[in-house]
Amino acid sequence: MVKERAIVCFDLDGTLLDNHKNRIPDSSLKAVRELKTAGHVVVISTGRDMETGYSLEYCRTVSPDAVIHQNGSKITAGERLLFRHTMSRSLLRDIYEFGKSRGYCFGTTIGNEDFFIDPEKRIRADGIHYKNVKRNFRPFEELFTRELEVTGLSLTGDISAEKAEIEAAFPGLEVLPFSGNVSADVVERGFSKAEGLKYLCGYYDIPAERTYAFGDSSNDAAILRWAAVGIAMGNADAAAIEAADYVTDDLEHDGIYNACVRFGLIGAYTV
């Protein structure tokens, strides 16, 4: 068995969470429980803000020790806010005007409210990837007048066509696709799940060589490369698989549990 504790990071969508069935497999929850019992630090690393209405239930189900929200723009441990970077209103206005003029659907969710340029486009994307999502849309422009902190944005549309133009117009932004080419996270450069994991290594005083990361999409590539062991799900896209050290089974076939046993994090198996 592993004698030293490790940090084990899990992406949510497509890794822990089966979006089509709207559930986390029992074997994944069993792995999380056994990781905690073994003394390891369990982290959710995601493009979501896990404190929003759509995500809080999953956070409560997993009960992680820490969360890397919105690709490292926000980090929490339990109820403690460790770090948060917010986008300036001037940047948000520039992004809004750019997106509005081109029909690009930028948006974000804060609490139980959804601020999107094109709500209909967001609804269509939800229908492809998520089950039983109910939105509470508000005008994107309210982000300029209300006291709301925006740590990251999402993009809905033809990501393969829009990514290059957005990054050329805004060199300080990075567009991180997930769920194929219809959705992406939009973050300011310098923030990533990998940077969030580095931060937590310092916070928990755990060396980088004792880190593990699970993911399934291109927005997981950085953390899969940086972690000592990057593990792509069997259902992962090509970018995640290329970045990973190991490919496990998919989430419906006990991929998380099997990999945790494979690397000696839980159970009696050692490598």
Query: What architecture is domain 7-84+191-262?
Result: 3-Layer(aba) Sandwich (3.40)
d(CA 129, CA 94): 29
Residue ranges of the chain assigned to CATH 3.30.1240.10? 89-188
Model pLDDT for residues 14-70, shown as the tens digit of each residue: 999 998 888 999 999 999 999 999 999 999 999 999 999 889 999 999 999 999 999
| Of residues 182 and 42, more confidently modeled | 42
Select from 3.40.50.1970, 3.90.245.10, 3.30.360.10, 3.30.1240.10 the CATH code of 89-188: 3.30.1240.10
Compute the average pLDDT of residues 61-88.
97
Residue 119: alpha-carbon gap to chain centroid: 22
Alpha carbon of 246 to those of 193, 213, 237: distances in Å?
Answer: 18, 10, 13
The mean per-residue pLDDT over the stretch 239-264 comes to 97
pLDDT per residue as tens digits for the range 186-204:
999 999 999 999 999 999 9
Domain with CATH 3.40.50.1000 in the chain: 7-84+191-262
Residues present in the chain in total: 271
**Residue 3 confidence class, pLDDT cut points 50, 70, 90:** low
CA pair distance 46, 216, nearest whole angstrom: 11
Mean pLDDT (whole number) for 140-157:
94
pTM: 0.93
The b-or-e profile of 213-250 (16+ CB within 10 A means b, else e) is: bbbbbbbbbbbbebbebbbbbbbbbebbbebbeebbbb
Distance of CA 186 to the CA centre of its chain: 12
Q: How large a percentage of the chain has pLDDT more than 90?
A: 85
Confidence of residue 271 (pLDDT cuts 50, 70, 90): very low
132: pLDDT confidence band, cut at 50, 70 and 90? low
